[in-house]
Amino acid sequence: MPMRVLVFLDGTPADPDAAQIKVDDLGLLRGDGVFETILVVDGKPRELRPHLERLARSAAMLDLPEPDLAAWDRVVSLVLERWAGGPEMVLKLVYTRGSDGDPAAVPTGFALGSEVAPSTLKARADGVAAITLERGFPPDLAERAPWLLLGAKPLSYAMNMAAVREAGRRGAEDVIFTAADGSVFEGPTSTVVLAKGRTLYTPPSSIGILPGTTQAAVFRGAEKAGWAVKVEPLTVRDLVEGDGVFMASSVRKLTRVHTLDGERLPDSAAVYAELVAAYEGEYA
């Protein structure tokens, strides 16, 4: 049985293989909650502070009670102490609105550590074929329609996962969401990064995408290595005309997109190696 560690927000450890969540938890009934997924390497969580701050930002967007970040820090430490699995751990933090119909409902919060999935290791090693799929929103909608929660990280990821399955049906492994005008958003679980010349690009979160902690770390490391970095709107055409397209996300780290919509992209292996070194340098 692969290693898993579960600790609730109040510090109580629990059996991850036993039932723990009440059936009327709104996180379960409506996906009404937020989450974060953090990579831990050799006992050290990567980008913990940005992840916790993003959890708080998502919670605010959903009008959830403000998360107690000191309590989250403690629960993360408790999971790390109990971990006896491999050198890498996927650490998921989940924070929901709690029980339905209970006026005094307290949020449900827990941290779950688990092993990295084999499919993640394969994506890191081999890169992925991606397809573009329309997300159906124009890039200027996020600011006008905050109730759509664009740019938050809610538990309701069924649409994101459906998009990944659609990619599978079309012979690919990942998705780049786009708008009707060709604007590039993000992947279902990752941020798009484009390399062109010695400049890295990623779209701004103001268009309704999640600000990526991995993308930020890659940009930080790349700047130290002499790259220029730009946060600006991108189109699918920009991706095709660039020197490398990458998907950044905490557990997959930086993943190469070798094929987009069935077309082989230019070989970006050398750029990829350089960017991975810059990213890993942030944790050396």
> Which residues form the interface with ligand PLP (CB under 6 A)?
37, 186, 189-191, 210, 212-215, 248-250
Please name the residue that has the structure tokens 């798009």: 192
Q: How far is the CB of 116 from ligand PLP (least distance, A)?
A: 13
Q: Judged by CB, which is closer to ligand PLP: 9, or 218? A: 218
Length of the chain: 284
Cα angle, residue 195 at apex, residues 247 and 210 outer, rounded to 5°? 40
Burial level of 95, CB count in 10 A (0-12/13-18/19+)? Answer: buried
User: Which amino acid does the sequence have at 177?
Assistant: F
Alpha carbon distance 200, 215 (integer Å): 10
Q: Minimum Å distance from CB 238 to ligand PLP? A: 18
The nearer residue to ligand PLP, 214 or 259, going by C-beta atoms, is: 214
Q: Which CA distances in Å does 191 have to 96, 123, 186, 281? A: 24, 15, 5, 20
In the numeric block, which tokens belong to residue 207? 């268009």
Helix (H/G/I), strand (E/B), else coil: 246? strand
Q: Which is nearer to ligand PLP, 20 or 160 (CB)?
A: 160
Nearer to ligand PLP, 96 or 250 (CB): 250
Q: Closest separation between CB of residue 273 and ligand PLP, Å?
A: 20
Helix or strand or coil: residue 50?
helix
CA distance 259 to 95: 36
Which is nearer to ligand PLP, 146 or 262 (by Cβ)? 146
Residue 277 Cα to chain centre, angstroms: 20
Report in angstroms how near the CB of residue 190 gets to ligand PLP at its nearest: 5
Quick one: 37 or 199, whose CB is closer to ligand PLP?
A: 37
Q: To the nearest whole angstrom, how small is the minimum distance from the Cβ of residue 94 to ligand PLP?
A: 13
Which residue number has the CB closest to ligand PLP?
Answer: 214
CB of 188 to ligand PLP, least distance (A): 6
